[in-house]
A and B are shown apart, each in its own frame.
Chain A
Amino acid sequence: MPADTVCLTFDFDAVSPWIHMDDGGRNTPTNRSRGLYGAEVGVPNVLAFLAERDLPATWFTPGHTIDSFPEVAARVADAHEVAHHGWSHTPPGDYESRAAERADIERGIASIADLTGSPPAGYRSPSWDYSEHTVDLLLELGFDYSSSGMAREFEPYRVCRDEALVDEPYDPGETVDLVEVPVRGRATTTRRWRSPDSAATPASGSSSTTGRRSSTTRPPTACSS
């Protein structure tokens, strides 16, 4: 295996974000039509692109997408890894309780298992963030890796249960048996990447989403061991 490995990942959200995020505030026909384009046009285009180049990929897919677009989800699963992205694409910090978050993750596992015949190895948070329960739930439910954190450029590391009290120094806490394969926000997209023959300045920096919680103790985040 070469020293440098590229993982192409796709968040096959379809219509789920518009329905399940922001308390449904963006659940409108035109927003949903963007998701329909993704499911019915974008995904087939991407699958053809990958097949032409014999490229593997990982598709973080909400269970809602699998259950809503079973035929195109099956085409994805026939050729690529399907990983967890919530059942409902709800940001973890938005669940009303640990039980509600667990139920949604379990429902997503069931959708993937029905599609592929086995539970997913990986998880990507729908908001690239965790609640105070997410890491423990991922461990309890048997995930091998998450791809949500950003504590390194590209190198995988182990997730930890950190403490982030506003009046105390940051404590990275103990590491757990969950590999984080970091994401890098918009800097990894082709919108910001420039080919070597381009006159444009190479992309720099990255972006991340922020939680909407208001608390003196922030949810655990991924960190290095």
Chain B
Amino acid sequence: MHPQVIGREDRLAKLGKFVDHAREAGAAFAEVREVAARAGDAI
């Protein structure tokens, strides 16, 4: 996502809906380096 696009109020409102949906589905949020480190041990 690019801040000049997603940083606008209407786009952030949509991102908020996505975040709420992901959390309700039980997903976690993490930085990419954390995911990459975890994957590096498994692949």
A and B together in one complex: yes
List residues of chain A with CB under 8 Å of any chain B CB.
1-2, 4-13, 34-35, 37-39, 41-46, 49, 53, 55-58, 80-81, 83, 121-122, 144-145, 147, 155-158, 179, 181, 189-191, 193, 195-196, 225
Pair B2/A13 contact, Cβ less than 8 Å: yes
Q: Which of A121, A191, A195 contacts B36 (CB 8 A)?
A: A121
Known: A190-B6, A193-B18. Contact between A57 and B38, CB under 8 A? no
Q: Which residues of B contact A (CB under 8 A)?
A: 1-9, 11-12, 14-19, 21-22, 25-40, 43
Q: Are A38 and B29 in contact (CB under 8 A)?
A: no
Tell me if A8 and B29 are in contact (CB < 8 A): yes
Determine whether the beta carbon of B25 is less than 8 Å from that of A41.
Answer: no
**A225 and B31 in contact (CB under 8 A), knowing A46-B3, A122-B36?**
no
Q: In the complex, are the beta carbons of A190 and B8 less than 8 A apart?
A: no
Question: Can you sample 6 A-B contacts with CB below 8 Å?
Answer: A8-B1, A38-B5, A42-B5, A45-B9, A121-B36, A190-B1
Least CB distance from A85 to B in Å reads 11
Assess whether A147 is in contact with B7, with CB atoms less than 8 Å apart: no
Question: Within the complex, which residue of B3, B6, B8, B29 is in contact with A56, where a contact is CB–CB below 8 Å?
Answer: B29
CB distance from B19 to the nearest CB of A (A): 6
Check B39–A195 contact: CB distance below 8 A.
no
For residue B19, which residue of chain A has the nearest CB? A53
What would 8 more interface pairs be, CB under 8 Å, given A8-B1, A38-B2, A156-B39?
A: A1-B38, A5-B35, A6-B28, A49-B15, A81-B31, A144-B36, A145-B32, A191-B11
Contact B2 A56 (CB under 8 A): no
Residue pair B43, A157 in contact (C-beta under 8 Å): yes
Q: A38-B4, A45-B12, A49-B12 are in contact. Are A6 and B22 (CB under 8 A)?
A: yes
* A residues near B4, Cβ cutoff 8 Å: 13, 34-35, 37-38, 42
Complex A-B, nearest 9 residue pairs according to Cβ-Cβ distance, in ascending order: A42-B7, A38-B4, A42-B3, A145-B36, A156-B39, A190-B14, A38-B3, A81-B31, A4-B27
Which residues on A sit within 8 Å (CB–CB) of B3?
A: 10, 12, 38-39, 42-43, 45-46
Cβ-defined contact, B29 with A55, below 8 A: yes
B14:A195 contact, CB within 8 angstroms: yes
How many angstroms from the CA of A83 to the CA of B31 in the assembled complex?
10
